[in-house]
Structure 1
Amino acid sequence: MDSISTLPDDIIFHIVSFLSAKEAAFASLLSKRWQHMFAIIPNLEFDDSINIQGVDFLDAVLVLPLSCRVKNLSLKCRKDPTHYAFVNHFLCNVLKRGVMDLKLDINGHGYSLPFEVFTCKTLVELKLGTGLVIDILPKNALLPALKTLIIDSVQFYDHCGCAFQKLLSACPALVELVMHNVEWENWEWSRTVSSPTLQRLTINHRYCFGIIHYDLESIIFDTPSLTFLKYFDFAPQSYPIVNLGSLVEATVGLTLPDDHVRIKQYAGDNGTITSDITNLIKGLRNVEILNLFTTMTMEAFYFFHEVIPVFENLHRLCVTTEQEYRWRTLPHLLKKSPNLKTLVIEGPLHFTYNSDDDDDEPVYEYLSEYDFPLSCPLKVLEITEYRGTRGELEQIKHFLDNLLCLELVKVFVSETDHEEQIQLKFSLLNLPRSSKCKVQFFIPPGKSV
């Protein structure tokens, strides 16, 4: 008899608690007494690209007594599709052991998840990806404890009843939904996000910031309890329903067609707009923090500036700029933000674009060309990319002259040369401004003035 087996149960339990799940599974085969030492396996991980004897490992887990609990299971099976029937057998076995966190990364070609995944009463967090195809859910689908659902590169095909909507309906306690690499255009009847309990929603279209564009009829958001939204997508033809009444923070990044096809996308042959984001814009009316990610999003808001609601609760606005885009959206946003306190400009401060008459001649656009609301209560202005050009100084001067409530201007410079930094700081600090307005000068890490 080995020396360890003579020890009391509580000491043995403490020793084996340091073993990995794989070691624990194999060790349980050594003795009937040892099987009861593994009452709880905190983390069980399987990756067929790493575990050379993967099937043996799964076999070892299957022989554990049902009294053995598994809290977290991470299963990656992308190498050998011949094991899928065995994998499902293993998965169903583990689902009976009180799993709370389940992460599945299974090659979806010809594979179907077992129905038991959608009827597990103990799951609190579920991650599905990548390449999985879900075409049908059981009639009794119910995940009563699920709070977090993450799907990555998952396709939903259900011509009869919308598998995606059924999945959301089966999660009565859902708090967070994360959707990575979404391809709405390949989903059948599954373009509605509806949940009365959902509080956090993240959506990333797979090709959102690429050159691919697709024509999608509509997307619906029926999420009355949502407080956090991060949404990167192509603009569809419309948003028929947008229920975001509880929204507190939103980051929106919409991709629009290039300039040469913009007319085709936004104005049909009769001159009417064919892609309507009106309801999405109106749905943001209650936000307190709004990040408009990408200049295309700013352009989209400009096309529909007449429907921009009054943002009564908005206190922090972050807008993204690029060298070739224009300022025309910002004044409309400021006019509709009566309680705005902080404005962050992510990107260049001075815009240039090519004129219609001569594409080789840049046109410089200044904020002074637009009507700024003098009553804007803005107190903090943050500029993230400052190079100190004459045009940028003019822009900051315009802010200082027209935003009468400003108390702090935070300027982050991109220049790393020591002497240039000194000159930039000198120029900024000598701009005329109210005595109550301070200018803070920030430099790249490791480069001080």
Structure 2
Amino acid sequence: MCANDVDTDRVDGWISNVLARGSVSDLDLAIAIGSDEEDNHQLSPKCFECTTLVSLKMHRGIDISLVSGRILLPLLKTLVLDSVPVCPNEFEILLLHALPSLQELLLVYVMWKVFDNLNSLAIWSGGDRGWQAMPALLRNCPNLETLVIKGLVHRVTDKCGDVCDCIYREDKGLSLTLCPVKVMEIYGFQGTMKEMAMIQHFLDYFPSLKEMEVYAEENSTTQLRDREVSKLVLRIFQLYNKFSSCSVQLCI
């Protein structure tokens, strides 16, 4: 069923009735839609009232851009927004400020702003997407302890900021020096020199970084399948551990 065929009142009623049972701790919402973003279902504010909800996941087809009214999610620790349209001001003021227990926030294809209470953040990256939002994001996460990045490869632009090592800048690494990340997990590693330079960049500028786990990509295109490349990469990781206070592990 596409979102433009959805009976809005009925869908909101279903969700509200489930939440009203008083025992729901996890809620995962998604609606199949066509290519038109106007087909997204505008979620009722009543769906944001639940005193037992711990994990809330909303995916494509759900629209919370006009969230208003009372938000009561006192126990919510995990919030996942995947391809969900939001209004930045209302998202920050009405939603995030009303989530006192929030510990984990996962945003996929969503614009974001300030997050004072966030301590764990996961980011999906790709060759077609730039990192222009990364500097502001890291600067505004004063309590961030764990950073997970899936894919170091990204589209290089003049707006990538100082988070990456792709373009030289006088303020190189400034956003990282202001971020208290202690643990990093990197997925999709392919063994390229560009990725190695990025890892070194993180080690140089994250002042509180203590642990880094790098997980190699498992496919036929990764350079790690070449024995000589693999030996070189392992040697570089040994040097990371020798000259850095951070424990760096390559998981193959």
- Asked whether the two chains share a fold, i.e. TM above 0.5, the reply is yes
Are residues 331 and 247 of structure 1, via their aligned partners in 2, closer, same or farther at CA, if it must alter by over 3 Å?
Answer: farther
Corresponding residue for residue 21 of structure 2:
173
The letter of the residue matching 2:216 is V
Give the AA of the match of 1:318.
Answer: A
- Over 3 Å counting, the alpha-carbon distance change for 1:229 and 1:248 in structure 2 is same
What residue in structure 2 maps to residue 338 of structure 1? 142
CA contact (8 A) 1:350 1:366 kept: no
Deviation at 1:320, TM superposition (A): 0.8
Superposition map of 1:157-236 within 5 A:
157=7, 162-168=9-15, 170=17, 172-176=20-24, 199-207=25-33, 211-214=35-38, 218-219=42-43, 220=45, 221-225=47-51, 226-234=53-61, 235=63
**CA offset digits 1:40-98 (Å, max 9, x no partner):** xxxxxxxxxxxxxxxxxxxxxxxxxxxxxxxxxxxxxxxxxxxxxxxxxxxxxxxxxxx
Q: Which of 299, 303, 310 pairs up with 2:116?
A: 310
* CA distance in 2 between partners of 1:204 and 1:217 (Å): 10
What is the CA distance between 1:288 and its match in structure 2? 1.0
Show the counterpart of 1:107: none
1:30-429 to 2 correspondence within 5 Å? 157=7, 162-168=9-15, 170=17, 172-176=20-24, 199-207=25-33, 211-214=35-38, 218-219=42-43, 220=45, 221-225=47-51, 226-234=53-61, 235=63, 237-241=65-69, 242-254=71-83, 276-282=87-93, 283-284=95-96, 286-293=101-108, 296-297=109-110, 300-301=111-112, 305=113, 308-311=114-117, 314-347=118-151, 349-353=152-156, 371-414=174-217, 415=222, 416-417=224-225, 418-429=227-238
The answer for the alignment partner of 2:163 in structure 1 is none
Q: CA deviation at 1:411?
A: 0.8
Classify 1:169/1:201 alpha carbon distance in 2 versus 1 (closer, same or farther; 3 Å). Answer: closer
- TM-score, normalised to structure 1, is 0.44
Equivalent-residue separation in structure 1 for 2:168 and 2:66 (angstroms):
33
CA distance in 1, matches of 2:215, 2:6: 45
Assess, with a 3 A threshold, how the Cα gap between structure 1 residues 169 and 395 changes in structure 2: closer, same or farther. Answer: closer
Distance (Å, rounded) in 2 between the aligned partners of 1:354 and 1:332: 16
3-state secondary structure, aligned to 1:322: coil
Distance in 2, Cα, partners of 1:167 & 1:388: 48
Q: Secondary structure at the match of 1:205?
A: coil
Percentage identity across paired residues of the two chains: 22
Displacement of 1:436 after TM fit? 2.9
Rate the CA distance shift 1:291–1:327 in 2: closer, same or farther, 3 A.
same
TM-superposed CA distance for 1:168, in Å, is 4.8
Task: Check whether the contact 2:54–2:75 (CA below 8 A) recurs between aligned residues.
Answer: yes
Q: Which has the higher contact order (CA 8 A, sep 6+)?
A: 2
Secondary structure of 2:131's match? coil
User: Does the aligned pair in 2 maintain the 1:342–1:379 contact within 8 Å?
Assistant: yes
Gaps of 5+ in 2: 159-165
Q: Give me the whole-angstrom Cα distance separating, in 1, the residues matched to 2:13 and 2:41.
A: 21
AA matched with 2:149: I
Q: Is the partner of 2:30 in helix, strand or coil?
A: strand
Q: Give the count of matched residue pairs.
A: 227
Q: Which has the larger radius of gyration?
A: 1
- The Cα RMSD (Å) is 3.4
CA distance in 2, matches of 1:377, 1:370: 13
Q: Contact conserved, 1:328 with 1:370, CA < 8 A, in 2?
A: no
**Paired residue type of 2:134:** L
Identify unmatched segments of 5+ residues in structure 1: 1-130, 132-152, 177-198, 257-274, 356-363, 444-449
- 2-side partners of 1:422 and 1:237: how far apart? 50
- Does the 8 Å contact 2:176/2:202 carry over to 1? no
Q: Is the 8 A contact 1:238 1:277 kept in 2?
A: no
Q: Tell me how far 1:421 sits from its aligned partner.
A: 2.0
C-alpha separation between the residues in 1 aligned to 2:168 and 2:185? 18
Amino acid at match of 2:143: N
1:384 Cα deviation (Å)?
Answer: 0.2
> In the alignment, what sits opposite 1:46?
none
CA-to-partner distance for each residue in 1:161-208, whole Å, 9 max, x for gaps? x334444555542433xxxxxxxxxxxxxxxxxxxxxx321111213x
